[in-house]
Amino acid sequence: MTLSERIKNKALSLGFDLIGIAPAREARHKTAFLSWLDQNLHADMKWIERNPDRRADPRLVVDDARSVIAVGVSYFVCNPPPGIWNDPSRGRIARYAWVSDYHKVIEHRLKELSAFLQNEAGSETKTRYYVDTGPILERDNASLAGLGFIGRNSMLISPSLGSYVFLGEIIASVELEYDEPTDDEGLNMKVESGGKPKASCGKCRRCLDVCPTHALPAPYVVDSSRCISYLTIECRDAIPPELRPKMGNWIFGCDECQQICPWVHRYSEPKESPFLSYDPERVAPRLVELMSMEEQAFRERFAGSPVMRAKYRGLMRNAAVAMGNWGSEEALPVLNRAARHDDVLIREHATWAIQRISAG
């Protein structure tokens, strides 16, 4: 077997569901990325705007970079029972945060794969690996490596797994055999020999239409300042009052633009892996119980979970918004206590929720 074939076999044995190899080159979507930054569509995520040229070219990340090994791990899990998932008195947490912190799990696998590569190609081989943390446009490199196409919601969509996929990559200073890239953005439903449609969005725009806050103003464009995922996780300040009623009971992240996708409906299947085990009570917690927690209880309940990224005050803010949208007087006692909280952010959102409930 060639080195590329051995790398792929090793990746699959480590538990990766997708593996592809692309040349280290400037991102195909660099112009679109720079335009997105120029329009301030990244909101307050200042870290994204640092060294944009480096983020758009892996050769500026690793000296003598020749290849990018792109990997994917499915994180699709079926919804909890409808009685839990559709209960407005519970908060919804995005699917990627149902599992233990994926960074640690996937980084460990990438470390092993990187060591395997250096052993096979020579210890002088330079490598660097990332999982959602490095200065690299992951979806661009994944599509260049043939893992999937970029959907209108800007997610990477795998024709075999849908879009519930964690991505990672190894940048390496070794020349490898490269996979065929997907069509740039998959704009057209071209037909291959045999009549099978090539993977793309076709004319579908369900993701754009379903977004509650209209955070997808155009295909392949995300306005972060309106995105529920940004508002509930990355935003550290008050959520704009006009967007709060549109957030429903999402308290950490949002899956609306993914769960509507035909590719997700058709091809996403739960994997048999301990990595994907979850507790229904943890992924859709009762809002009253959540709002009653002190910070120490929050840390104990969500230890090792991506939910920790929102921090205590952020999750309490989000829970208050969800309680206001629930609209039940059952929420008032705990909201009245929160309206006297030491933290002004929690007080302000609890007061808003009380007013919304009282207004009927």
pLDDT at 133: 85
pLDDT tens-place string over residues 63-100: 999 999 999 999 998 888 999 999 999 999 999 999 77
Which residues have C-beta within 8 Å of that of residue 181, sequence separation ≥ 6?
22, 28, 143, 144, 145, 146
Bridging pattern class, strands 18-23 and 127-130: unpaired
Q: How many CB atoms lie within 10 A of CB 310?
A: 24
The predicted model gives 164-169 an average pLDDT of 96
The predicted model gives 248-275 an average pLDDT of 90
Of residues 74, 93, 72, the one with CA closest to residue 84: 93
pLDDT at 187: 38
Kindly name the residue from 101, 132, 179, 343 that is annotated as catalytic. Answer: 132
Does the pLDDT value for residue 188 go beyond 80? no
Of residues 248, 264, 232, the one with CA closest to residue 156: 264
Residue length of the chain: 360
The mean of the pLDDT values for the chain is 92
- Is 132 designated active site? yes
Higher pLDDT, 47 or 189: 47
pLDDT at 259: 95
The predicted model gives 341-353 an average pLDDT of 98
pLDDT at 64: 95
Separation CA 164–CA 268 (nearest Å): 8
